[in-house]
Structures are given as structure tokens and as C-alpha cells.
Amino acid sequence: KREISNFDYLMYLNTLAGRSYNDHMQYPVFPWVLADYHSETLNLSNPHTFRDLSKPMGAQTVERKRKFIQRYNEVEKNLSAQCHYCTHYSSAIIVASYLVRMEPFTQTFCSLQGGSFDVADRMFHSVKSTWESASRDNMSDVRELIPEFFYLPEFLTNENHFELGCMQDGTVLGDVQLPPWADGDPHKFILLHRQALESDYVSAHLHHWIDLIFGHKQHGSAAVEAVNTYHPYFYGDKMDLNNIKDPLIKSTILGFISNFGQIPKQV
């Protein structure tokens, strides 16, 4: 009925599911909504402009989906449980990497990295390359987005002039590289990105993504069918730490969760 925006609805669901700005390990999670980061102009009336919201990031391409299904069926020797993904779509390091150009997230990122910035080529430097990594290229990257991508242009600029390093191709890291349709303007990127979130296409398909992240496709047979299962440690409500007597095992699980993230509570 358009009585509430998609942004407000997603924030409400995140809050119900226990996500909070106060906890980087359970930070609000938002979807990638676009798949077009190369066009000169953004066409929000073209369905091909958008990401497939019915599929998790690990299943955005046929080949990638096949590989993750193969992993699930084979249960690689180095995995301790059957799952599609051993990394998560939202974690403290993902949040801090997106917001690394702003304090206090700069210090948070460095502390998580052992006191310094990461190798420049692994830093968040381009919206397009991050999408390509998370949707196609990197089997250990299935990250989604954070709310700031839809309202905060400042996180895309290096106003603090941090020395973030130099990539192998000689590019010095500074402001985040934006898609051509943003014309190099962070405010235009946020404006168009927010318009994409509130578009007719996303409004008509957003419930599919909500099923994956907050709903019935989180776990069980529906999650397996949707290629949407994660390591058991990520399901916080399924792990009863009070019954684990071995302190080493308990600390290992807690470390795993703090490093790799948690599935939101099912709503």
C-alpha cells in the first residue's frame, strides 16, 4: 500500500531480528538490490538492472550456485559440518571494511586486522568490484550491504585523508570508486541507490530476500533447496553454549561467531 518505505520496513525487520547499530557482529543487514554498476545511466524500469532477490549472493550465477551445491554435497574434508557457506553475509569485519574511511570504524577495522589496514587490493575501494566479488568471483565472499549504502554519502569519501595504501596496479586508495551512473558524486550514488531500493521492481520482489535472511528459508529443508545454508556456528539461537563444558571448544565457537557473523533471529 506504500504506507511505509522499503528502507523503514527493512530496518524494522532488522530490529525485530535482534540486529543493532550497537553491535558490529549483529549489524543491520540490507540487500544488494542492483546488478548494474557499469552503465552510464541507471534504468530502474529494466528488470535486468536488478539483482535476483530470490537467490542468496552465493547463487547469483549458475556456475557459482553449482559450485556451492557441489560443496554442500561433498562436505569438503576441512569443513566440520555440511553447509553451502563457511563465510557470512554480515560480520564485524564486513561492516568495518565498508565504513573504514569514517571513525570510529577506522580504528575498529584496524583492531580487527591486528593493528593496521589490510592489503590495499583487499580493501573496499570500488562498488563495482565489491559486487563482482560477492556475486560472482570470490567463493569466500557472499557479503550483503549495510543501511549506510542508502543514506550516508560520507562513508564513500576519504575526508580524513587516511593512507589506505596502493594497489598492485598502482592505484592509490582514496575515495570509493563509484559506478559511471553516479558521475563520481557520492550524493548522486546514494540518491539513485535509494530510488532503486524503493523502486517498483524491488517492492515486488523484496519479500523473497526477506524469506532468505529473516524468514522460513533461513534453515532446514527450505534453506537447502534455496542454496542458503551456513556453518552451524552462525546460527546463534541453535547453539546452546551453556551446555558446552570444554572451555576451549566454547572459546573457539565464540571466536568463530565474532569473526564471521551470525544469522539474524527468525521473525
| pLDDT tens-digit profile, the chain (267 residues) | 889 999 999 999 999 999 999 999 899 999 999 999 999 999 999 999 999 999 999 999 999 999 999 989 887 555 567 899 988 999 999 999 999 999 999 999 999 888 888 888 889 999 999 999 999 999 999 999 999 999 999 999 999 999 999 989 888 999 999 999 999 999 999 999 999 999 999 999 999 999 999 999 999 999 999 999 998 888 876 666 667 777 887 777 777 776 777 899 999
Q: What pLDDT, on a 0 to 100 scale, did the predictor assign at position 89?
A: 95
C-beta contacts of 104-109 below 8 A and 24+ residues apart: 106/160, 106/162, 108/24
Q: Give pTM, 2 decimals.
A: 0.92
CATH superfamily membership of 6-258: BEACH domain (1.10.1540.10)
Q: Determine contact, residues 6/252, Cβ cutoff 8 Å.
A: no
Taking the C-alpha atoms of residue 256 and residue 233, their distance in angstroms, rounded to an integer, is 7
What is the residue-wise DSSP string for the chain?
--SS-HHHHHHHHHHHTT--TT-GGG---B---B---S-SS--TT-GGGB--TTS-GGGSSHHHHHHHHHHHHH--TT-SS--SBSS-SS-HHHHHHHTTTSTTHHHHHHHHTTSSPPPGGGS--BHHHHHHIIIII-TT----B-GGGGT-GGGGS-TT-----B-TTSPBP-SPBPPGGGTT-HHHHHHHHHHHHTSHHHHHHHHHHHHHHTSTTSSSHHHHHTT--B-GGG-GGG--GGG---HHHHHHHHHHHHHH--PPPP-
Q: What pLDDT, on a 0 to 100 scale, did the predictor assign at position 77?
A: 55
CB crowding 69-105: b at 16 or more within 10 Å, else e = eebbeeeeeeeeeebbbbbbbbbbbbbbbbbbbbeeb
Domain boundaries, the chain: 6-258
Q: What pLDDT, on a 0 to 100 scale, did the predictor assign at position 126?
A: 96
Q: What pLDDT, on a 0 to 100 scale, did the predictor assign at position 210?
A: 98
